[in-house]
Structure 1
Amino acid sequence: MTTAASDLSEEVLSLTCKISKEHLLKAKEHGFSDCQLAYIFDVSDQDIRNLRKQYGLDSVFKTVDTCAAEFDAKTPYHYSTYDKENESVRSDRKKVVILGGGPNRIGQGIEFDYCCVQAVFALREAGYESIMINCNPETVSTDYDIADKLYFEPLTFEDTIRILEHEQPLGVIVSFGGQTPLKLSTKLEEAGVAILGTSSKGIDLAEDRKKFGALLRKLDIPHPDYDTAVSFEEAQEITGRIGYPVLVRPSYVLGGRAMKIIYSDDSLKEYVDQALFISEKYPLLIDRFLETAVEFDIDALADSTDCVVSGMMQHVEAAGIHSGDSTSILPYHNIDPSVIETMKEYTRRLAESLNVVGLMNVQYAVQNNKVYVIEVNPRASRTVPFVGKATAVPLVKIATRVMLGEKLSDLRKEYRLADCDELGMSHLAIKEPVFPFSKFLKSGVYLGPEMRSTGEAMSLAYDFPEAFAKAYQAANMELPTSGSVFISVNNHDKDERIINIAKKLYDIGFDLIATAGTQQFLADNGIECKKVFKVGEEGRPNVFDTIRLGKIDLVINTPLGERALHDEEAIGAASVMNGVPFVTTIEAAEASVQAIACLRQQEFGVKSLQEYAAYRQA
């Protein structure tokens, strides 16, 4: 549909003088996006799009035969190009488009693809044609036999809106592919596209720190002190006001990329100087870091009138470790019931205020039994597959049906969700991250706010020690039942907890080895422990030699604040190279000791997911 010249904006009229139809077509044929052309001509993306429409230039779709002409392909896939013939035929069925997770990278992995695939299955059961847009050949959602129709296209506004104009779906699901499709929701809704599930307004309210902070104050929900900055001077003023340590990160990151815990002005200046991109639109986010707090991930299902808390996962590690790298327990373990009720109440208030329709994830920090909201994601989170399998409840299927207009109150009855607590689990599940440290020895093995895991394993049992021991085995980390344990903890961790850990290990027959400071602390508390040299100290063998010679069976080493000491990195590298299990937080050490005691007392049998889920049929 062409637009009269009189209706064109001044920007588009001036563009017609700079680039003719022929030149624009040639640019598009050579792969220039609207965004690139807008940058070249110093105009907006929309101006380039309007000019293309004025010239009548649009991409067409070509078909890739997934069966190589051997027989008729039931699900061919399509890609766009600037040509004359369009090979994608629109059906007359009612259809829904799902936006996938985009290219593969740490922080946006298979968890989101699982959600997309489960949504496809749910749409098929509901009688809809499912159309997938994704550009990752390593995902299940891009397999030839999953969706009814697949567009192998980048997840940009330009490419997505062109497909939607062609297919004319009833709506688009953006909340199953992580942050990438979520960022498109506002522009798509402004273009007249129906977003199924939480609206772009609700998504923006949760993503925009200032708007979200105002909402939390209105709801009287505590949160760590925070602010935003676009310069070192502003950042320094904020840290002077809220105090160190702080958690800093760029806006709209995924997988905790470039996040860091900062303890001083010097480190803050170094971080700001190295930041690649900070602006008024994308400021630096600065949060007061709650040391020693316990973190929780809460998954919930909601619609405009109802909310079901579907999973409450407690992190084994203290606050500061990215949720994707944390060992998570479902349901919670040894937590005050009043804290649990507070988190449930906050979750319901947030779901109602954000008008969540579908899935939502909330991250909390609990310090001295006070609950703080860290962030809210009005979308599927990376924990959804874990919670769905552990509870035997098809969360994505239910969320998809809610997005299509069904009432959660009705689905409660169908899926037996009424009057239950965390979906009524009668067992315990643990999510254990898997790391690529053996492939990247020089990357360092100590965890922080930036996600580093590349997979995860899951274990099920009826008590915590057994579940934790199984989780280690599933992640290819064999805990020893005898031998020697190396212990080196920072001054903050030299308290009753490490005394109890060392005493339990000593009592069940382990030999203890430690560096000077930790050895002296344990000896002062009546625990026999041998001393070993640090890597940088004079004298051999040092701790690196001892691990390398196979004389250590378990390493417990907690780094000190932000300092990545040479000795600690050497210990981690030696552990990885020699296949020695290691833990880097005191919380993981406590759990490991319980698991070792369990391993010494019993052998584990095999039980299927279906057997654990039998309680759902009771």
Structure 2
Amino acid sequence: MARIRSKKILIIGAGPTQVGRDTESEAAAIQIIKNFAEAGRNLYYVTNDANSIIPQLKYDVEFLVDDLTVNSLIQILRENDIDIILPVVGNTVALQLCEQLNESEVLKELNIRTMGVTTTTIHNINNPELMNKVLRHIKEPTIPTTVVETANSAIKFAKRVGFPVLIKPIASLTKTNRIKCDNEHQLVEMLEPAFKVSTTNQIAVEKSVVGYKEVEMTVIRDAEGSKLLINGAENFNPIGVHSGDSIIFSPTQTLTDIEFQSLRTAALKIAEVLKIKGVCHVQFALDPTDGKHFVTRVNPFFDRTSAFAARATGYPIANVVSKILLGQSLREIELSGVQKHDSLALIEPAMDHVAVRFPTWSFASFKNADQELNTKMKSTGAVMSFGRSAEEALQKAIRSVDSTTTAEQAALDESELSEAQLINVLIHARAGEVYYLLEALRRGYTVDELAEMTHIDAFYFYKLRHLVKLERQLREHHFDADVLKEAKYFGFGDTQIAHLWQVRSDQVREFRIKQAKVFATYKGVEPTAGEFPYLTNTYYSTFEDEDEAIRTVGKKILVLGTANSQVGTNSAAEYTTFQTIKRCQDLGYKVILINNNPNALTFVPDLADKVYLEPLTVENCLNIIHQEKPDKIVAQGKWEIVSQLVLRGVEIDQLPLSRTTRSENIDADYMAVVSEINGQANLFGVIGINDENMFVPIEASPKIKRQFKAVVMEECKNLTANGIYSIILRKNDDLLEVSSSVPMAIQDLPFLSYVLNQDFAGMITEIILTGAFQIKNYPMMGAKYRYTHVYPYDQFGIKQPQNTPFSLAIGAKFLSN
């Protein structure tokens, strides 16, 4: 009997991190690869993300480095005899590529099908007019929309439906957002660049619903047609501010039950008519005056909203979707945390807490960027927090902002604004908006005035007004135990209270613990809200009586996560933390993680033994250290929170990594990567470098090549501390000279790990924790690879300068050779 060949599945990655896309796609990819590999599937994964964690996984998957273009994919499909394409972890990039592959008819020629979402659905989603036909078929209201191929057609449509309108390029391979045009002049100005990035020379034009509430529903559907709502989330800002730049609350805060059920029903209907097998995120515009709604976006793939939904509810979306894609139905899927229930995967999650996603910015590093918020996303990261009330969750989100970027959240000092300036920033939303809203309430603006100026629901201003009232009570009652207790219950941090009392935060902490007897307690995050017995490993703090977290037993280590994605370290920091956790476990530790990035790789279920989704502040870290009493604490390099904890006597094993960058703007040609362990030096390899890129193989004469080992080993004699180092080298005619020697930069670590065939993050972790490591040299990757940085200048609408500092990069990618 002939042997049947195993189906080959190509997973398309999302590419490098950038504004609008963090590591949420790779986090989902990890879980899908794990489940597929354990089921014996034949897997390929393609991306040009130089910070991808996939090559470090222990699962059987072939990692392909290539441009994410239709021509590159066609070659991959042919060379590897691919049978199935899985686009759902590739964000909009993968869907656009599948659309182009289908149009080229190569899928039909090679008999290749897509998994999770059909090519028909992809085609409908990519064309607003076709999507509107689908929506009308299921009796869902549609926004007046058209697709045009000329500027005149766009102008004619806009005049017919009335300004403002939104435009968006069709089939754009770059990350694009809807652009709001308030008049004909703006429309004409924006049409030309929009046409240029459309691969079909088409633009979608639609009537604007700016000012409506923006609500997001995340649903799951299996092949049998069983469907459930995972999460509903509500944007703080109305439509007109990109949802990635808005604060997000879950569960929804201001919807009536009729409105909520209407949107839930619509989302489930959409998943059904599109025959989704997996996750689907649907965005709605909800008219606050009459409760009517429009569908504004359908994403049948993993994105930041589905990542937030998974964290907010504790429902393991990616694991469940993996099993759906493998052929299981929701009624057959078992969730690992369930203790007593046969079909919990079919039960819609319930929440007994409020979750908040809060955008973070990098405008202090980009002085000329326009900080006004509109339909073009500008935040470079996000943090997440939990609370028992909207106030607590919001306050924890505000203080979740990493102390190294706090100054970037509000570029203007709100307390110094004149009345006219304040009114201007209230009407024209800008980065750090919540700080200006709080200041307006402090100055006596009423809820109705602010709701009218901002179109933000009055509900949120009542919550903010409550926080301002608590501020006032704290200012008037220093070291009052009752006032302190109420403030802590609604999310005020020790540092915030210290500012209001004009004392040091350590004094507040001492009073809170020793005299007021106010202690943090911890609640579990799981999808049944206590309805069924459920073993969770994820917790958040609050200030109630019952504590649900039990101290971890055994040899344990606390790993400080990296918080929100930042320019500079960007997704390489998450990569490093992921590998650190794995190595700690290999060394016999139970890993306790504290992190608060909703898109983090390190929130993959079952990676860490216990997770505290908490602000990375001194207070929260000290509370967790007191709760868990870890044997060791480890962190990446020396950054603000590490320094503050060390000042308070906390012993932290700091991975000797540079949190800035490798040497830049110097005369350099090569980088040698070496280890120094207890006086023993080892050369892993040499990389070529220039002003913009790193690359292998190196370009050097035989005479230069013969000098590498001797020059590098001589320089290693000057390295006194254990670690992994980058030795920067330059040519001086036929001589090789050392420019500098620095600890390996976090930013460079993923690329160097890949091309040198090493796990440098794990290696550094073991060296620091044990004082030793058995070096194994592996052959370098044989292919040509070139690495370059990705910057957010285009998204910020400013020109990228020459010799851009690497510290401003938001991601990294492989370049084609």
* TM-score above 0.5: yes
Q: Structure 2: state its 5+ residue gaps.
A: 335-340, 429-434, 475-485, 492-518, 535-817
Q: Which residue number corresponds to residue 344 of structure 2? A: 416
Q: Give SS of 1:384's match.
A: helix
What is the one-letter code of the residue matched to 1:418? L
Structure 1 pair 255–278 and aligned structure 2 pair: CA distance change class (3 A): closer
Q: Is 2:46–2:63's contact at 8 Å kept on the other side of the alignment?
A: yes
- TM-score (normalizing by structure 1): 0.66
Q: Which residue number corresponds to residue 116 of structure 1? A: 29
1:309 counterpart = 2:194: no
Deviating more after overlay: 264-273 vs 280-289: 280-289
Q: Distance in 1 between matches of 2:358 and 2:60?
A: 31
What is the one-letter code of the residue matched to 1:447? L
Q: Is 1:434–1:456's contact at 8 Å kept on the other side of the alignment?
A: yes
Shift of 1:252: 3.3
2:487 to 602, 605, 612: 602
Q: Is 1:104–1:136's contact at 8 Å kept on the other side of the alignment?
A: yes
Shift of 1:312: 0.9
Q: Distance in 2 between matches of 1:443 and 1:560?
A: 22
What is the one-letter code of the residue matched to 1:391? T
Task: Give CA-to-partner distance per residue, 1:314-363, whole Å, 9 cap, x none.
Answer: 00011012222221111101211111111111111111111111111111
When the two chains are superposed, the root-mean-square deviation of aligned CA atoms in Å is 3.9
1:189 counterpart = 2:111: no
Task: Give CA-to-partner distance per residue, 1:222-246, whole Å, 9 cap, x none.
Answer: 1222222233321221111111111
Q: Is 1:429–1:461's contact at 8 Å kept on the other side of the alignment?
A: yes
Q: Distance in 2 between matches of 1:158 and 1:504?
A: 52
Matches within 5 A, 1:555-566: none
2:209 to 290, 303, 324: 290
Structure 1 pair 446–414 and aligned structure 2 pair: CA distance change class (3 A): farther
Q: Give SS of 1:376's match.
A: strand
Q: Is 1:357–1:403's contact at 8 Å kept on the other side of the alignment?
A: yes
Matches within 5 A, 1:237-316: 237-253=156-172, 257=176, 259-277=178-196, 281-304=200-223, 305-316=225-236
Matches within 5 A, 1:465-614: 465-476=391-402, 477=406, 484=415, 486=417, 488-489=422-423, 510=442, 592-597=464-469, 600=474, 601-603=486-488, 604=491, 610=524
Matches within 5 A, 1:160-171: 160-168=73-81, 171=84
Shift of 1:456: 0.9
Shift of 1:429: 0.7
Structure 1 pair 301–168 and aligned structure 2 pair: CA distance change class (3 A): same
Shift of 1:171: 2.7
Deviating more after overlay: 241-250 vs 104-113: 104-113
Task: Give CA-to-partner distance per residue, 1:556-585, whole Å, 9 cap, x none.
Answer: 999999xxxxxxxxxxxxxxxxxxxxxx99
Q: Distance in 2 between matches of 1:503 and 1:286?
A: 33
Q: Is 1:278–1:284's contact at 8 Å kept on the other side of the alignment?
A: no
Q: Which residue number corresponds to residue 69 of structure 2? A: 156
1:435 counterpart = 2:361: yes
Q: Distance in 1 between matches of 2:267 and 2:466?
A: 32
Q: Which residue number corresponds to residue 14 of structure 2? A: 101
Q: Distance in 1 between matches of 2:248 and 2:177?
A: 23
Q: Distance in 1 between matches of 2:312 and 2:350?
A: 11
Q: Which residue number corresponds to residue 392 of structure 1? A: 314
Q: Distance in 1 between matches of 2:19 and 2:174?
A: 7
- TM-score (normalizing by structure 2): 0.50
Q: Distance in 2 between matches of 1:606 and 1:123?
A: 40
Structure 1 pair 256–136 and aligned structure 2 pair: CA distance change class (3 A): closer
Shift of 1:103: 3.3
Q: Which residue number corresponds to residue 543 of structure 2? A: none
Shift of 1:408: 2.3
1:375 to 280, 294, 297: 297
Shift of 1:610: 4.1
Q: Is 1:108–1:255's contact at 8 Å kept on the other side of the alignment?
A: no
Structure 1 pair 280–230 and aligned structure 2 pair: CA distance change class (3 A): farther
Q: Distance in 2 between matches of 1:256 and 1:98?
A: 19
What is the one-letter code of the residue matched to 2:153? E
Shift of 1:265: 1.4
Shift of 1:135: 1.7
Structure 1 pair 171–595 and aligned structure 2 pair: CA distance change class (3 A): farther
Q: Which residue number corresponds to residue 548 of structure 2? A: none
Q: Distance in 2 between matches of 1:166 and 1:110?
A: 29
Structure 1 pair 131–610 and aligned structure 2 pair: CA distance change class (3 A): farther
Shift of 1:469: 0.7
Structure 1 pair 385–608 and aligned structure 2 pair: CA distance change class (3 A): farther
Q: Which residue number corresponds to residue 533 of structure 2? A: 617
What is the one-letter code of the residue matched to 1:197? G
Q: Distance in 2 between matches of 1:401 and 1:435?
A: 36
Matches within 5 A, 1:177-216: 177-186=90-99, 187=101, 189-190=107-108, 191-216=110-135
Q: Distance in 1 between matches of 2:66 and 2:246?
A: 33
Q: Which residue number corresponds to residue 87 of structure 2? A: 174
% identical aligned pairs: 19
Q: Give SS of 1:345's match.
A: helix
Structure 1 pair 132–464 and aligned structure 2 pair: CA distance change class (3 A): same
Q: Distance in 2 between matches of 1:213 and 1:418?
A: 30
Shift of 1:213: 1.1
What is the one-letter code of the residue matched to 2:327? G
What is the one-letter code of the residue matched to 2:163? Y
Q: Is 1:175–1:378's contact at 8 Å kept on the other side of the alignment?
A: yes
Q: Distance in 2 between matches of 1:129 and 1:592?
A: 53
Does 1 or 2 have the higher relative contact order (CA < 8 Å, sep 6+)? 2
Structure 1 pair 172–228 and aligned structure 2 pair: CA distance change class (3 A): closer
Q: Distance in 1 between matches of 2:425 and 2:67?
A: 49
What is the one-letter code of the residue matched to 2:361? F
Q: Give SS of 1:296's match.
A: strand
Matches within 5 A, 1:125-144: 125-143=38-56
Q: Distance in 1 between matches of 2:151 and 2:423?
A: 33
What is the one-letter code of the residue matched to 1:268? L
2:244 to 312, 321, 324: 324
Structure 1 pair 128–429 and aligned structure 2 pair: CA distance change class (3 A): same
Shift of 1:372: 1.0
Shift of 1:427: 1.1
Structure 1 pair 612–483 and aligned structure 2 pair: CA distance change class (3 A): farther
Shift of 1:459: 0.1
Shift of 1:154: 2.0
Structure 1 pair 282–118 and aligned structure 2 pair: CA distance change class (3 A): farther
Q: Give SS of 1:221's match.
A: coil
Q: Is 1:136–1:142's contact at 8 Å kept on the other side of the alignment?
A: no
Q: Which residue number corresponds to residue 380 of structure 2? A: 454
What is the one-letter code of the residue matched to 1:106? V
What is the one-letter code of the residue matched to 1:181? A
Q: Which residue number corresponds to residue 673 of structure 2? A: none
Q: Distance in 2 between matches of 1:228 and 1:162?
A: 31
Structure 1 pair 325–469 and aligned structure 2 pair: CA distance change class (3 A): same
What is the one-letter code of the residue matched to 1:322? H
Q: Is 1:468–1:591's contact at 8 Å kept on the other side of the alignment?
A: no
Q: Which residue number corresponds to residue 328 of structure 2? A: 406
Q: Distance in 2 between matches of 1:101 and 1:339?
A: 34
Q: Is 1:246–1:288's contact at 8 Å kept on the other side of the alignment?
A: yes
Q: Give SS of 1:344's match.
A: helix
Q: Distance in 2 between matches of 1:483 and 1:184?
A: 45
